[in-house]
Amino acid sequence: MSGVWGNKIQISIFGESHGNAIGINISGLPSGVLLDMEAINEKMERRAPGRSKISTARSEADKVEILSGVFEGRTTGAPLCGIIRNSDTRSQDYSKLKDLMRPGHSDYPAKIKYQGFNDYRGGGHFSGRITAPLVFAGAIAEQILREKGIYIGAHVKSINNIEDDSFNPLEITKEQLNSLKGSDLSVLNNEQGEKMRELILQAKKEGDSLGGVVECAIAGIPAGVGDPFFDSVESTLAHLVFSVPAVKGIEFGAGFDITKMKGSEANDSYYYDGDEIKTKTNNNGGILGGISNGMPIIFRAAVKPTSSIIKVQDTIDVNKKQEDKLQVVGRHDPCIVSRAVVVIEAVSALGILDLMLR
């Protein structure tokens, strides 16, 4: 399995959903960074399970135990290792999944690739639980970026067919981004958020699940960041975002809708705002040629419906080599989108920090 990513900042994740612990090793952090553990814990709590009725009932504190790389509250420059102990596991809920392949999940391809030796309990290393260490690393990256005047925030753009408002692509403030981080369902329009909540609870009642879209903004990033071709801003962020379980698509700026525009409409015209160079529109999402142009970076990530659902589904029994029925038991999110918001923020911070340090 590939558990390592990065250039200037290198991360290595480890653990399984129902193993003893999950964790991450982070190399390349600058020395002397004073860790704001309160802010880190707030980030971890936003992703943690069991916070509300619209998430899984599994209860994990997600407290990070730092084993190395920090002394007297500051980074030492040595690799920083943090682990999160697993406590609320019910592995017996997954006993049938050794042979019955969950539709929409990694069970079947993983069984083939790893010859049946992979840990299937709770999805093992394929579980969304493994994003918790990423949130920890991203929280550290965000602290470093804030010192450079760069702020990152995201919200639930849609759940199924219910749409939230969009970010203003021309002006995004740190106050706006920070205001999104106090809710279990981060939205710009609270009325739409309540409709989303009702729809999620209805899907939960029906034993089904929903997907949606997360919109992320990166404000304050200067022009000139990015390393085309293969380490452009888009390719770096897309690599990390697609590493988040359940993400199936990404678009920057106007995204696919830019194909419906003429060049005269799609091009972002420049102008001077005092000594600062800005664009009149931001259809390209703050990125041109793979390099930041100084405008806010905007992208959206599509998150599929949770694959583990109570509804009976058709599947196969790979031991008996026959078709079968499956009703997944256990504790699962009826919609993972709300908890994915902080994960998208975290991986974005890691990607931007890595590019900034080059």
Q: Establish whether 304 is an annotated binding residue.
A: yes
pLDDT of residue 60: 66
Q: Establish whether 249 is an annotated binding residue.
A: no
Q: Establish whether 289 is an annotated binding residue.
A: yes
pLDDT of residue 57: 62
- Compare 252 and 63 and report the one with higher pLDDT: 252
pLDDT of residue 96: 79
Q: Tell me: pLDDT of 112 over 70.
A: yes
pLDDT of residue 94: 63
Q: Establish whether 125 is an annotated binding residue.
A: yes
pLDDT of residue 132: 95
Residue 92 pLDDT level (bands cut at 50, 70, 90) = low
The listed range with the strongest mean pLDDT (52-61, 105-114, 139-148, 327-336) is 139-148
Residue 197 pLDDT level (bands cut at 50, 70, 90) = very high
Residue 91 pLDDT level (bands cut at 50, 70, 90) = low
Q: Establish whether 90 is an annotated binding residue.
A: no
| Mean local confidence (pLDDT), 167-183 | 92
pLDDT in tens, 8-51: 999 999 999 888 899 999 999 999 999 999 999 999 999 887 66
Q: Establish whether 117 is an annotated binding residue.
A: no
Quote the mean pLDDT of the chain: 93
| Maximum Cα interatomic distance, the chain, rounded to a whole number of Å | 72
- In this structure, of 74-83, 177-186, 250-259, the range with the lowest mean pLDDT score is 177-186
pLDDT of residue 59: 61
Share of the chain above pLDDT 70, in %: 96
Q: Tell me: pLDDT of 317 over 90.
A: yes
pLDDT of residue 135: 97
pTM: 0.94
Q: Establish whether 127 is an annotated binding residue.
A: yes
- Compare 331 and 175 and report the one with higher pLDDT: 175
| Mean local confidence (pLDDT), 138-145 | 98
- Which distant-in-sequence residues (6+ apart) come within 8 Å of 218 by Cβ? 150, 151, 152, 286, 296, 297, 298, 348, 352
Q: Establish whether 228 is an annotated binding residue.
A: no
Q: Establish whether 269 is an annotated binding residue.
A: no
pLDDT in tens, 263-300: 999 999 999 999 999 999 999 999 999 999 999 999 99
Count of domains observed in the chain = 1
Q: Establish whether 105 is an annotated binding residue.
A: no
Q: Establish whether 53 is an annotated binding residue.
A: yes
pLDDT of residue 23: 96
- The parent domain of residue 167 ranges over 4-356
- Compare 92 and 209 and report the one with higher pLDDT: 209
Q: What CATH number should be reported for the domain holding residue 281?
A: 3.60.150.10
pLDDT of residue 90: 62
- Compare 82 and 120 and report the one with higher pLDDT: 82
Q: Establish whether 129 is an annotated binding residue.
A: no
Task: Yes or no: say if 15 and 130 are a contact pair by the CB < 8 Å rule.
Answer: yes
